[in-house]
Amino acid sequence: MLPSRPILKRLAAAVAIAALAACSSTDDEPEYVERPVEELYNDAYNAALSGDFDGAAPLFDEVERQHPYSVWATQAQLMSAYSLYQSNEYDDAVAALDRFIQLNPGNPNVDYAYYLKGLSFYERIVDVGRDQRLTREALSAFEEVVQRFPTSKYARDARLKIDLARNHLAGKEMSIGRWYMRQGQYLAAINRFQRVVSDFDTTDQVPEALLRMTESYVALGLIEEAKRTAAVLGHNYPGSDWYQDAFVLATEGRARSTAEAEADDGWFGWGLGPF
């Protein structure tokens, strides 16, 4: 049985509305035009070269979208990540770099991908009073460069940034340790300072960490522990202000006065002192 005439009219009207809606949405969307891969890549590269990284990133993505199996597509992945990095879109850059590394583990530019990933974290490192997740992420990426690609041209700078990141993490531990000391929680403070000495032993924070450990041991009445810690400080940093302060603390149970510090010639000959 055929539908009645009123129903047919309603159906025809609905189809017409749907068709108009489809035409409208199609008109609003950019028309897909497949272009030669070299032309696409060159447009993207020229945009990046002119400093238009916001425009370059989607153009590099288009290279891969239209020509996913070309040799240009792989390079476009990395260039898209670079453009995102230059646009300060760091999270998107990291995601793109992780994808590049996963898809192209044997690519000759994978060392640069790890290095650029490290930079994407490194440039967002905040002061030691805040969470250091980004510092740890940067350290991990740079360590990948150094460990997996020791002869890479990016390894030297990665090593420098590893040292800076480790010093920053040690600074965070020192900041927490000092806070515990101010609260009178000396055992908790000692644990933080010990971590600096054991985990960040090449950083500039170690001498102060040993001094603060000495100070905490004195506050707890553990004089022999204080003397042993001061001895370690004197052995590794003889003549330093840190050792001079630790020596007075361990032997006299007090901080060195300003007058003593100004009159002191450095105690260079003390070595390990009487410990």
Cβ distance 234 to 273 under 8 Å?
A: yes
218 found inside a domain: yes
Q: How far apart are CA 20 and CA 32, in angstroms?
A: 20
* pLDDT value of position 171: 94
Q: In angstroms, rounded to a whole number, what is the distance separating the alpha carbons of residues 14 and 80? A: 44
DSSP letter at 34 equals -
In terms of residue numbers, what domain contains 264?
A: 205-275
Query: Is residue 217 in a domain?
Result: yes
Q: What 8-state DSSP symbol labels residue 193?
A: H
Is position 130 within any domain?
no
CA distance 200 to 135: 14
**Predicted TM-score (pTM) of this structure:** 0.74
pLDDT at residue 246, as a whole number: 83
- Per the structure, how many domains does the chain have? 1
Q: What is the pLDDT of residue 252?
A: 76
Q: What is the pLDDT at residue 238?
A: 85
User: Exposure of 94 by Cβ count < 10 A (0-12 exposed, 13-18 middle, 19+ buried)?
Assistant: buried
The pLDDT of residue 70 = 83
Closest C-alpha among 224, 246, 220, 251 to residue 233: 246
pLDDT at 33: 65
Query: Does a structural domain hold residue 212?
Result: yes
SS3 content of the chain, % helix, strand, coil (to 5): 75, 0, 25
Q: What angle do CA 129, 206, 251 make, to 5 degrees?
A: 115
Long-range contacts of range 49-56, CB-CB < 8 Å, 24 or more positions apart? 53/83, 53/84, 53/86, 53/87, 54/83, 54/87, 56/80, 56/83
pLDDT along the chain (275 residues), means of 10: 45 39 47 70 87 91 84 91 96 96 93 97 85 92 96 96 95 95 95 95 92 93 91 87 81 56 37 32
The reported pLDDT for the residue numbered 20 is 42
Q: Give dist(CA 213, CA 203) in Å, integer.
A: 16
82 vs 202: CA distance, rounded Å:
32
pLDDT of residue 32: 57
